């Protein structure tokens, strides 16, 4: 623990890092699939899927959190199913914070991956097919390597977004120190008590640092992706 952070601050930071990491890792495979579908496939309901994915981006986060509570809460239909069959409870647990962060960061990740898939020349994939590669192999040996920097850029951006998620998280899993109190929730709490400004400021600076680093890194990786697709 760094000397300049109090135990509560340190706990909140560690929890946020853990939540953001899991949210990024768990949503990545689904984001790849959805991005591929939106970029390349034609199917009924594509517009609906696109809208659904982007909804958390424009909806008030508190509404997203409420919807999560209704569906994944103990009495929600998915929540009940998960509890009865797998013994998984998300509401008011750190795992619920992971779900909230993942849902909120998902549109950013899908957007970044989708853009890099669209930049891949489909004629290269056709050429791979003509050389005997089946569709999954074409994806694994041509599409994926070409979009990899874009995927990483999307993941970095999603990680930063997950680190900063507040509205949906506090609505769905509340603000329990050591359990669901992430960095933004902690800042919010510190601001509610007298003398908490210094702690809030320290955590705010960390938030800005994480966000800035992620933006620069993701921008740099996106440019690298563009160069790679252009073959340089």
Partner 1 sequence: MTLSVRLRHDFAGFALDVAFEAPPGVTVLFGPSGSGKSTVLNAVAGLLRPDHGRIVVAGEVLSDTARGVFLPPHHRRLGVIFQDGRLFPHLSVRQNLRYGRWFAPRTARPAREAVVVEMLGIGALLDRRPATLSGGERQRVAIGRALMAGPGLILADEPLSALDDDRKAEILPYLERLRDELQVPMLYVSHAMPEVARIATTVALLDRGRLIRLGPAAEVLSDPAFAGRGREAGALILATVTAHHPDGVTELSAGGLPLFLPTLPAAPGDRLRLRIAAADVMLAQGVPQGLSALNLLPGTVDGVHPQGDAVLVRLATPAGAVLSRITRRSAAQLGVRPGAALTAIVKSLSHAPQDVGTPLH
**Contact residues for partner 1, defined by CB under 8 A:** 121, 123-124, 126-135, 137, 141-142, 145-146, 228-232
Least distance in Å: CB of 122 to partner 1?
11
Q: What is the DSSP code string of the chain? A: --TTS-HHHHHHHHHHHHHHHHHHHHHHHHHHHHHHHHHH---TTHHHHHHHHHHHHHS-HHHHHHHHHHHHSTTSHHHHHHHHHH----TTSHHHHHHHHHHHHHHHHHHHHHHHHHTS-HHHHHHHHHTT--HHHHIIIIIHHHHHHHHHHHHHHHHHHHHH--HHHHHHH---TTTT--HHHHHHHHHHSTT-HHHHHHHHHHHHHHHHHHHHHHHHHHHHHHHHHTT-
Write down the least CB distance from residue 113 to partner 1, Å.
17
- What does the alpha-carbon distance between residue 160 and residue 168 come to, in Å, rounded to a whole number? 15
CB of 31 to partner 1, least distance (A): 21
Extract the tokens encoding 15.
């929890």
Q: Which is nearer to partner 1, 117 or 128 (CB)?
A: 128
Task: Using the minimum distance from each CB to partner 1, give the nearer residue, 33 or 131.
Answer: 131
Nearest CB to partner 1, comparing residues 129 and 177 = 129
Taking the complex as a whole, how short is the minimal distance between the CB of residue 140 and partner 1, in angstroms? 11
Q: How far is the CB of 224 from partner 1 (least distance, A)?
A: 12
Q: How far is the CB of 144 from partner 1 (least distance, A)?
A: 10
Tell me the angle at which helices 61-72 and 46-58 cross, rounded to the nearest 10 degrees.
Answer: 120
Nearer to partner 1, 137 or 220 (CB): 137
């Amino acid at each position: 623990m760094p000397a300049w952070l109090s135990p509560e601050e340190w706990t909140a930071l560690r929890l946020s890092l853990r939540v953001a990491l899991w949210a990024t890792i768990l949503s990545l495979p689904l984001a790849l699939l959805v991005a591929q579908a939106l970029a390349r496939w034609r199917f009924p309901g594509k517009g609906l899927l696109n809208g659904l994915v982007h909804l958390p981006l424009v909806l008030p986060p508190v509404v997203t959190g409420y919807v999560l509570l209704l569906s994944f809460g103990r009495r929600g239909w998915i929540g009940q199913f998960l509890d009865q069959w797998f013994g998984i409870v998300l509401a008011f647990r750190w795992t619920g914070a992971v779900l909230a962060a993942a849902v909120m960061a998902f549109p950013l990740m899908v957007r970044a991956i989708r853009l890099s898939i669209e930049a891949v020349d489909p004629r290269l994939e056709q050429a791979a097919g003509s050389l005997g590669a089946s569709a999954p192999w074409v994806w694994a040996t041509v599409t994926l390597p070409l979009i990899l920097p874009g995927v990483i850029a999307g993941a970095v951006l999603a990680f930063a977004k997950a680190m900063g998620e507040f509205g949906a998280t506090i609505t769905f899993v509340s603000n329990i120190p050591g359990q669901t109190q992430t960095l933004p929730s902690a800042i919010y709490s510190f601001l509610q008590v007298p003398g908490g400004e210094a702690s809030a400021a320290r955590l705010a600076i960390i938030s800005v640092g994480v966000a800035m680093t992620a933006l620069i890194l993701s921008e740099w990786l996106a440019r690298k992706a563009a160069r790679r697709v252009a073959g340089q």
